[in-house]
Structure 1
Amino acid sequence: MSLIDTVRNTIVPVHKEGYIFVAGFFVVSLILGWLWEPLFWIGFVLTLWCAYFFRDPERVTPQDDDLVISPADGRVSAIQMMTPPAELDLGNEPMLRISVFMNVFNCHVNRSPMRGRIVNIAYREGSFLNAELDKASHDNERNGLVIETAHGEIGVVQIAGLVARRIVCWSAKNEPLAAGERFGLIRFGSRLDVFLPISAAPRVAVGQTAIAGETVLAEFGSTKGPVISRRG
Structure 2
Amino acid sequence: MRIARPSYRYALLAVVVAGVAFPFSRIASAACVVAAVGVVYFHRDPARVVPPQGVVSPADGEVTVVREEEDGLRLGIYMSGWDVHVNRAPMDGVVERVEHVPGANRLAFTKDAEENERLRFEFEDYTVEQIAGTFARRTYSYVDPGDEVARGQRIGHISFGSRFDVVFPPEYDPEDLTVDVGHRLYAGETVIAPQRSAVTDDGERPVAAST
TM-score by length of 2: 0.87
Structure 2 residue matching 1:212: 3-state secondary structure: coil
Please list the CA deviations of residues 128-184 of structure 1 after superposition, one character each: whole Å capped at 9, or x if unmatched: 0111123423x1111111222xxxx01101111110111111211111000111111
C-alpha distance in structure 2 between counterparts of 1:183 and 1:159, whole Å: 14
C-alpha distance in structure 2 between counterparts of 1:134 and 1:95, whole Å: 19
CA contact (8 A) 1:199 1:220 kept: no
Give the total of aligned pairs: 199
Which residue identity is paired with 1:216?
Answer: V
Alignment of 1:68 onto 2:55: yes
Aligned partner (choices 166, 189, 192) of residue 217 of structure 1: 192
C-alpha distance in structure 2 between counterparts of 1:175 and 1:204, whole Å: 29
Change (3 A) 1:220 1:199: farther
CA contact (8 A) 2:71 2:167 kept: no
Q: Give the CA RMSD over aligned residues.
A: 1.9
Matches within 5 A, 1:67-216: 67-82=54-69, 93-137=70-114, 139-148=115-124, 153-200=125-172, 201-216=176-191
Which residue identity is paired with 1:132?
Answer: F
Identify unmatched segments of 5+ residues in structure 2.
Answer: none
C-alpha distance in structure 2 between counterparts of 1:13 and 1:184, whole Å: 14
C-alpha distance in structure 2 between counterparts of 1:97 and 1:163, whole Å: 24
CA contact (8 A) 2:56 2:188 kept: yes
Which residue identity is paired with 2:35?
Answer: L
Aligned partner (choices 21, 31, 35) of residue 32 of structure 1: 21
C-alpha distance in structure 2 between counterparts of 1:38 and 1:182, whole Å: 38
Structure 2 residue matching 1:120: 3-state secondary structure: strand
Which residue identity is paired with 1:21?
Answer: Y
Residue 46 of structure 1, CA deviation:
1.4
Which residue identity is paired with 2:132?
Answer: A
Structure 2 residue matching 1:40: 3-state secondary structure: helix
C-alpha distance in structure 1 between counterparts of 2:98 and 2:34, whole Å: 37
Which residue identity is paired with 1:218?
Answer: A
Structure 1 residue matching 2:63: 3-state secondary structure: strand
Alignment of 1:18 onto 2:7: yes
Aligned-residue sequence identity (percent) comes to 34
Which residue identity is paired with 2:72?
Answer: M
Identify unmatched segments of 5+ residues in structure 1.
Answer: 1-11, 83-92, 228-232
C-alpha distance in structure 2 between counterparts of 1:160 and 1:114, whole Å: 22
CA contact (8 A) 2:103 2:118 kept: yes
Change (3 A) 1:209 1:34: farther
Please list the CA deviations of residues 12-65 of structure 1 after superposition, one character each: whole Å capped at 9, or x if unmatched: 21223111111011112222332211222222211111000111111111243x
CA contact (8 A) 1:71 1:111 kept: yes
Structure 2 residue matching 1:107: 3-state secondary structure: coil
